[in-house]
Structure 1
Amino acid sequence: MVLYLIGLGLGDAKDITVRGLEIVKRAHKVYLESYTSILQDTRKEMEELYGREVIEADRLFIEQKCEAMLDEALTHEIAVLVVGDVFCATTHCDLNIRAIQKNVQVVSIHNAGIMTAVGCCGLSLYNFGLTVSIPFFTEKWRPYSFYERMKTNMAAGMHTLCLLDIKVKEQSMENLIKGRLIFEPPRFMTVNQAIQQLLSLEEEKKMDVFHPSTFCIGLARVGCPTQRIVAGKASDLLRVDFGGPLHSLIVPCLKTVTEEENIMIQHFAVKESDLVLEKEEDKKEDD
């Protein structure tokens, strides 16, 4: 039969398309991919709205145990719900490939994703370069290939969209080694944390990419009623409380910003009332 990959959009369960909802109501089983992104609604709220059971497909399921789901799709209509658009994450591209290799017919129902929705900040999507992902650093792991891509974009006069890391159902190294299915609390990178990591990379690599004076745009909960967009110097955005997840960061190339783009940037310019968090130097003095 068919494996349906159904985009849910960025806000809540109501953002599903009419076609997507029709499929959800008639499908043999409905799965929710729950680790590459999140909606504002809970799974229970989705079940109440859609009128049927929604099975959680977490990281372990998608990466290691989805073969049974793909086998079911050979004889039934199976729906997989994806936050955002269906192909914004490599996880879903991989799922698509595995289904095709099993001769499962795949049908995609698209929806709004962060890759296009960032146009809400006023920057033209035509002027974005390579999208990068910023992972949480650890003491022993500080990758910087994304930083090199940001430099490439800057040299080409293009804006950079930075997707910020989320950690859902992650295991500690100790639990992973011992095979214990004990998971760490969820973590969602904030605009503030991303800026701090970028500044630390610049201090370490001296690549002249990102500084406290670098102009950037912080976005939170794009597509939701509580959406927030603030534009300003990195040092100022560090003091802005962007609220709950999910967050994204844009580093524009100011040399190529058009007059129309600049109008919107000024609309979202940081205000004195936005600067509610302590400066880093003030925190150090308190310590």
Structure 2
Amino acid sequence: MEPDGPPESESSERSIFSSQQEEEDDEEEAKEPEETGTLNPVLQPALTGDVEGLQKIFEDPENPHHEQAMQLLLEEDIIGRNLLYAACMAGQSDVIRALAKYGVNLNEKTTRGYTLLHCAAAWGRLETLKALVELDVDIEALNFREERARDVAARYSQTECVEFLDWADARLTLKKYIAKVSAAVTDTEKGPGKLFKEDKNTILSACRTKNEWLETHLEASVSELLEQKQQLEDIVTPIFTKMATPRQVKSAKSVVSHGQKRSQDLTFY
């Protein structure tokens, strides 16, 4: 549930983990050695990119924190952020990739709807954004402001992140359109009407071609992606329009009248 009272300021949205870490670092320096064990043991490797250290905690049964590894990772602050968010703020892409293997939810949201992608976008962590997109996170997820990660990046003037997320959105739009068209011609219940075999083969062939293009053009620009979608639309739209257009069917009265006239004509022979 959302906490009572007005939402925190935008600056606190971005700074709470960093300020917490600074406080913990100060405390750690001031503590006696035996007291440092109270800190979350996953925090340090997550923030420093120590993937091997994380793997030991998660995979080594002899590690003293092994059984609590996931619980430690997912401990939340007052607005629902765990150490995955801290890793995103620190730009630790390899940590995110490593932790994804343990089945963590990369689409989880804070109490105000911020995802890991929103977080990386706000902090300008381009490589982390790329890692998250590669892991198929939801780039269309909205926070409590109805903002996507792209909007958050724009709000914080993270130009490179905006450009990358625009590219990711264009690529996703093409993929979704290909999938939608393919489903429409293979699922008779979802299709717009009766489809001739030749037209069906034309559409499926075009979809295969566009999928192959996506796989072989990983660095395609936004304009190229949009052009590919337009080309597919130019093939598909006329066929679907033809399918949706009612066919001219002669009325029963017309058929009977025509039959009678034909019969009369035959009597002269």
- Structure with the greater alpha carbon radius of gyration: 2
Higher helix share: 2
Pick the TM interval, shorter chain. under 0.3
Higher strand share: 1
Higher relative contact order (CA 8 A, sep 6+): 1
